[in-house]
Amino acid sequence: MPPDSGESREAFHAWVNLALEEKKAGLRVPFATLDAKSGKPLGSKSFLALRPEHLSVEIGWTWISPDFWKTGANVEAKLLMLTHAFETFGCRRVEFKTDHRNERSRKAMEAIPATFEGILRNHMVVHGGGKRDSAYYSVIDDEWPRVKANLLRRLGRQPG
């Protein structure tokens, strides 16, 4: 998320409006992550880098309220999106990227388990004009059954 999106209600609404504009432009498919019991919004994820001609998509722009860290909410949201990507869209590849310094995000990707593919140096310009190296991870269709079983186990459910 842009660093200022949580500073005020207006900044957050601007971030939501940007996501919706990008959806209209075909650049992003944003999702809200809701608490199943209360319906309270607790985060968001998006499908990005939509490449249907290559049967590939990215899952990103992920954030979750710290109140819901280590509750399984992020794991379940990833399971739902990966299931949709592989079993509905018919993707062969789902990719993830993060700032190479973001250890929390990298550990979450490794726990999926997504495969680390490398660092793209000077990959992005970030807020304030700085540069970012991006760590790339992916799950491919051949790995999906094993990944799905792992995510289900992490949620306390039986694969199958």
Whole-model pTM: value is 0.87
Q: Kindly state whether residue 14 falls inside one of the protein's structural domains.
A: yes
The answer to whether residues 29 and 46 touch, using CB atoms and an 8 Å cutoff, is: yes
Q: What is the pLDDT of residues 139-157, one digit of tens each?
A: 999 999 999 999 999 999 8
Sequence-ordered list of residues with C-beta below 8 angstroms from that of 39, at least 6 positions apart, any chain: none
Q: Kindly state whether residue 87 falls inside one of the protein's structural domains.
A: yes
Q: Provide the number of structural domains found in the chain.
A: 1
CATH number for the domain harbouring residue 95: 3.40.630.30
Q: Kindly state whether residue 20 falls inside one of the protein's structural domains.
A: yes
Domain span at residue 130? 9-154
Q: How confident is the model at residue 8 (pLDDT cuts 50, 70, 90)?
A: low
Q: Kindly state whether residue 63 falls inside one of the protein's structural domains.
A: yes
Q: What is the pLDDT of residues 13-43, one digit of tens each?
A: 777 788 888 888 878 898 888 888 888 888 8
Q: Kindly state whether residue 1 falls inside one of the protein's structural domains.
A: no
Q: What is the pLDDT of residues 59-90, one digit of tens each?
A: 998 888 888 888 999 999 999 999 999 999 99
Q: Kindly state whether residue 104 falls inside one of the protein's structural domains.
A: yes
